[in-house]
Chain A
């Protein structure tokens, strides 16, 4: 069964460093998303991406964040200058081209900023 994959599973970085989280969505899906979950809190929407552009972003997704689909399979989330409060589990999700648009999530990348 096709699934969303994410790498790395765990990333430790120092405050101020740039990180890139990588995702490979399900191959025939057209909509891509990033969410994050701070430990013990809700899963929060960050950004959605369709047709090579951002279709919606939350107020969390500020200028420090960017997303890219560099080729036909990868979808990346970049954080330019990490802060301690960026420590969280980051989930990538994808959904297909038609309703009802179930979103399928990857296993997550645990980002720890020290």
Chain B
């Protein structure tokens, strides 16, 4: 798989259910970030997890990171129709100059939450 590859590609659930999306990557990273994108709109930053962290929570979001398996998961609990969007993981690696990070995005998971 390519850097920042999510699965499943599409997920359809009922309101109130939990949604889990996975992301795998290949190279070493400094941190991993999850973004949401509503159709045709901009990217909204959801949560960042550093390479030395294993789990992070933010509201109804729970992110895990397993650097040994080079994988991450995003769990959205008690989903709502408004959570319908595409979700992307993006791995952050330090640039060659050591001054900042570029993000490498996956293809995303299209989540549909049915009312």
Known A-B contacts A43-B88, A108-B41; the reply to A101 vs B105 at CB < 8 A is no
How many chain A residues touch the partner (CB < 8 A)? 28
Q: Which of B90-111 contact A (CB under 8 A)?
A: 90, 92, 95-97, 99-108
Interchain nearest-CB distance for B57 vs A (Å): 16
Interchain nearest-CB distance for A75 vs B (Å): 14
State the CA gap A109–B100 with chains docked (Å).
24
State the CA gap A56–B90 with chains docked (Å).
17
Task: Across the A-B interface, give the 9 residue pairs with the lowest CB-CB distance, nearest first.
Answer: A107-B42, A43-B105, A105-B43, A56-B95, A31-B100, A45-B102, A108-B42, A42-B105, A101-B101
Majority-rule SS of A interface residues = strand
**Residue contact B100 to A102, C-beta cutoff 8 Å:** no
How many chain B residues touch the partner (CB < 8 A)? 28
**Residue contact B106 to A42, C-beta cutoff 8 Å:** yes
Name A's B-contacting residues (CB within 8 A). Answer: 31, 33, 35, 41-45, 48, 50-51, 55-56, 58, 89, 91, 93, 95, 100-108, 110
Find the A residue at minimum CB distance from B98: A55
**Residue contact A107 to B41, C-beta cutoff 8 Å:** yes
Q: What residues of chain B lie closer than 8 Å to A35, measured between beta carbons?
A: 103, 105
